Structures are given as C-alpha cells and as structure tokens.
C-alpha cells in the first residue's frame, strides 16, 4: 500500500492484507517473506507458495503474519487432520497443513540453519526420523495441559493469546485423553491429563473450587520403556511422544557408548529415565550420578531406581551442584538434557572442566543447542555424531541428540 499521491510505501499495520511469495522456513513454525522493505514471519504457509497474508503483529524488529488465502499452493500442502488448526485458531500445531515427510525435511533445515547461524558450522545434515509409535503424526502425545474457557470448556490457547479456544478433539493426543472433553470444569484454571502405556488415563484439575467429575486426581501413570516400567507423577517431566523415551535412551546409549566401570553423570535427570539404562551399562563397578532440581521428579526417581545400587540421586540446582569442587577426569560421560533455554556458559564451563570423554546433549531447541555448541567450542569441545527425532509431529518442534567430544590437541579447560 502506498501513501496517497506518492510512490512511498505505507508502513505495515496490523490487519493489512498483502500478496507475498513464501520463502524459507524459520525457527518457531514461521516462513520468511518480504514486503515493504520488512521481513515477515508467516504462519500457515509453505516455502514456494504465493499467498495472501494478514499482518498480525508489527514490532521494531519483526512483523508477524498469517497466510489467509493460498493463491499458488505447494505440492506439499495437505488438508489439516485437525479442524482447529489454522489462522486465529489453536496455537498448538503449526505444521498440520504440511505433508509429514516435508515437515521432517523442514525441521532438518531448521537444525542446519541453527548450526550455521549460531555455531558457525555449515552443512550439518541430520535427517529427522520418526520414532516408534508414529501413526501418521497423530495420537502420539501422552500428556496434555488443557486450558479452560469462562464456561468451563477445555481447549487450547489461540496463538499468542490468553484466549482459550474450546475443542471437541485433539488429534495429536493419545485417544484416551480426549475423555477430558466430555466434562466441563467450572472455576478451573487448567486441566491436565496423562495416559500410561497400559491405557490408564489420569485427569486432574487445578484452580480453587474447580469441578470436573472425570477428574481422577493426581495419580501416577505407568510408562513402559525398552522393557522397563516407570511410575511417573503426571506433574513430573516426561518425554511427550509415546515413542520418545525409548528413542532417546537408545540414542544416548548408542552415541555415548557407556561401558562397564565408567562413571556417568545424568544432568537434568527428571525422574531418572537415562540413569536407569546407564546404570546397567556401567555395571556394579561403575556409577551414575543423577542431578535434578525438582523435588517431585527426584521422588519419582527414588521410587523407580531404588534397586540400582550404583545410582546416586541428587536434588540440587544445577549451577550449585556443578560449582562444588570435584576431581577432573573422574567422570567419563555426561548426559546433558537441559530445559528449552539450554545449558548456557556457566554450566558448559563447569562440565568442560570435568574433562569427560563425551557429552551427550539432548536438546528440544536446536537454536539453544547450537548456541551451547559454540560455547563448548571455547572450552575445547566440538560437535560429534548427532541424531534428530520427530518427537513432536504436526508442530515445528524437533529433538536433537548431539555428542560433544574433546577437540584433538586442545586441552579442555581446567
Ligand atoms: C528436558 S527435562 C529432562 C528430564 C529427563 N532427562 C528426561 O528425559 O525425562 C529438564 C529437567 O531439568 C530440570 N531442571 C530445570 N532447570 C534446572 C536447574 N536449574 N537445576 C536442576 N534441574 C533443573 C527440570 O525439572 C526437568 O526435569
């Protein structure tokens, strides 16, 4: 749009509709487009499409838009399996309109871009593969946090809004959890559900005076992973995809290659998932130290791991625990599975100071991972073999398990 009577382009404003060509995928479920000298971050589009987009947010450094009409569709465009996916609707799934194989290629590209931009590493190609239990990208999510609208109906937040969109089904949740939608929850702030491997569904409601007859209260669910049973409090961290815990444990073992007699640290250990299998690998002459900040998760870990005599469970904030003096070289391998924000420079320095032969980094945010890889390079570690998993189909999220190994000829910091 131009200023009347001039050639000058008007600044973009929320609500403007314009036609653009959709460029490459960006982190966060957006695609890049350009208009009026600005870079647009467009949702609900696919690279190569021509689309009419509506501006939804204008900031100094970024403009957001939704594709509201596709003029030239991509061959990878499909009908979204969920009727609540689309502009102005549920903010949960960003990739429902994209063929599953293409979703995975796009995620691979996002990982590659993250390493190039944030770690200075070009051409890092890690194929994003489905995990066990993949069912065309649907019915994979074993735990859900539902919002509740004013009338007590459960649903999800609209993208970048506090408003709740009531839904009649969530197609990525395991089927049993949709029982949440058979009830209303007057006065509730949130409803949570989790489904165990045995099909047991736990539903609980938060908010004073909240109601909901289907609520089972807080009840542990059973999750079976690689032949081992875990009892997990639904409020403790647990990998969301039904096949993710097994895939990640296997990746940690395959990439880290723990052997008998070694000492391993499992940092940000949650309920002790990785420790359970590391314990068997290092055997009775080895040791695993699992460090986790949440008391509830450590309680779960104690319940699940009390038979393993070679595991030490530590409930501490990570920086505090790593800051305590310890003997460098005493630990062979470290599993590092931090929250989305990543490990950061302090934790990376403290880990490098231990001089492990390998760090196996489990990352749910490729940008945070790439930033940490750059930080580790300053401390004498480089990126080694890595794997990527489609643990969050229909969304832009991706999980990467990457190794960091000492740079030959460079002594890690001491
Ligand atoms: C991504 S989860 C990983 C859990 C576990 N490794 C698993 O796969 O089930 C990250 C964990 O780090 C814990 N955490 C977050 N910040 C922490 C901190 N500063 N110190 C210790 N633990 C922390 C959280 O409670 C959570 O259990």
Report the pLDDT value the prediction gives residue 413, as an integer from 0 to 100. Answer: 55
Which tokens hold the place of 264? 């391993």
Task: Taking residues 144-166, report their average pLDDT.
Answer: 95
- Look at ligand 1, atom 17, and give the residue with the nearest C-alpha: 293
pLDDT digits (tens, 9 = 90+) for 35-87: 999 999 999 999 999 999 999 999 988 999 999 999 999 999 999 999 999 99
Domains detected in the chain: 1-77 (2.40.50.140), 107-132+241-406 (3.40.50.150), 143-232 (no CATH)
pLDDT of 1 strictly over 70: no
How far apart, in whole angstroms, are the C-alpha atoms of residue 172 and residue 74? 24
Which tokens hold the place of 333? 């391998």
pLDDT digits (tens, 9 = 90+) for 32-41: 999 999 999 9
User: Residue 209's pLDDT band (boundaries 50, 70, 90)?
Assistant: low
How far apart, in whole angstroms, are the C-alpha atoms of residue 205 and residue 146? 10
Tell me which residue has tokens 């569904």: 201
User: Residue 219's pLDDT band (boundaries 50, 70, 90)?
Assistant: confident
Q: Which atom of ligand 1 is nearest to the CA of 316?
A: 21
Task: Taking residues 87-107, report their average pLDDT.
Answer: 97
Which tokens hold the place of 304? 């699940």
Average pLDDT, the chain: 94
333-336 and 358-363 as β-strands: parallel, antiparallel, unpaired? Answer: parallel
DSSP 73-139: --TTB---S-TT-STTSBSS-S-TTB-HHHHHHHHHHHHHHHHHHHH--------EE--TT-STT-S
pLDDT of 218 strictly over 70: no
Question: Which of residues 213 and 181 earns the better pLDDT score?
Answer: 181
Report the pLDDT value the prediction gives residue 414, as an integer from 0 to 100. Answer: 43
Report the pLDDT value the prediction gives residue 212, as an integer from 0 to 100. Answer: 61
Report the pLDDT value the prediction gives residue 106, as an integer from 0 to 100. Answer: 98
DSSP helix/strand/coil, 336? strand
Task: Taking residues 132-148, report their average pLDDT.
Answer: 96
Ligand 1 pocket by Cβ (under 6 Å): 237-239, 268-271, 273-274, 292-294, 297, 317-318, 337, 339
Q: Is the pTM of this model over 0.85?
A: yes
For a mutational test of ligand 1's pocket, the pick from 268, 291, 294, i.e. the residue with the most ligand atoms closer than 8 A to its C-beta, is 268
pLDDT digits (tens, 9 = 90+) for 227-257: 999 999 888 999 999 999 999 999 999 999 9
Task: Taking residues 346-361, report their average pLDDT.
Answer: 96
pLDDT of 346 strictly over 90: yes
């Amino acid at each position: 749009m131009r200023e009347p009577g001039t050639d000058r382009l008007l600044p973009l404003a929320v609500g403007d509709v314009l036609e653009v060509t959709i460029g490459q995928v960006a982190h966060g479920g957006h695609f890049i487009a350009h208009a009026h000298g600005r870079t647009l971050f467009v949702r609900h589009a696919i690279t190569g499409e021509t689309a009419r987009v509506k501006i939804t947010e204008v900031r100094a450094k970024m403009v957001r838009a939704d594709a509201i009409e596709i003029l030239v569709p991509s061959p990878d465009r499909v009908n979204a399996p969920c009727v609540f996916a689309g502009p102005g609707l549920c903010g949960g799934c960003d990739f429902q309109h994209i063929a599953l194989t293409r979703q995975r290629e796009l995620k691979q590209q996002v990982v590659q871009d993250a390493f190039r931009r944030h770690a200075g590493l070009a051409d890092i190609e890690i194929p994003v593969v489905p995990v066990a239990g993949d069912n065309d990208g649907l019915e994979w999510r074993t735990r859900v946090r539902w919002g509740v609208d004013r009338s007590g109906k459960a649903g999800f937040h609209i993208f970048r809004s506090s408003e709740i969109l009531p839904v009649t089904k969530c197609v990525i949740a395991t089927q049993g959890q949709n029982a949440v939608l058979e009830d209303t929850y007057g006065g509730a702030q949130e409803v949570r559900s989790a489904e165990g491997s045995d099909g047991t569904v736990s539903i609980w409601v938060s908010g004073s005076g909240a109601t909901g007859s289907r609520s089972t209260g807080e009840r542990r669910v059973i999750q079976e992973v690689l032949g081992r049973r875990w009892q997990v409090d639904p409020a403790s961290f647990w990998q969301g995809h039904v096949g993710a815990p097994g895939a990640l444990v296997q990746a940690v073992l395959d990439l880290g290659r723990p052997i008998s007699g070694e000492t391993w640290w499992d940092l940000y250990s949650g309920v002790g998932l990785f420790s359970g299998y590391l314990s068997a690998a290092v055997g009775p002459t080895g040791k695993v130290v699992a460090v986790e900040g949440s008391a509830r998760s450590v309680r779960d870990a104690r319940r699940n791991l009390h038979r393993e005599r070679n595991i030490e469970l530590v409930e501490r904030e990570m920086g505090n625990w790593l800051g305590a003096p310890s003997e460098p070289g005493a630990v062979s391998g470290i599993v590092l599975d931090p929250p989305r924000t990543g490990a950061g420079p302090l934790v990376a320095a403290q880990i490098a100071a231990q001089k492990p032969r390998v760090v196996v980094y489990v990352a749910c945010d490729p940008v945070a991972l790439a930033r940490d890889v750059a930080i580790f390079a300053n401390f004498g570690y480089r990126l080694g073999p890595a794997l990527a998993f489609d643990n969050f189909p229909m969304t832009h999220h991706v999980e990467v398990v990457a190794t960091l190994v000492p740079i030959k000829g460079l002594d890690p910091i001491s």
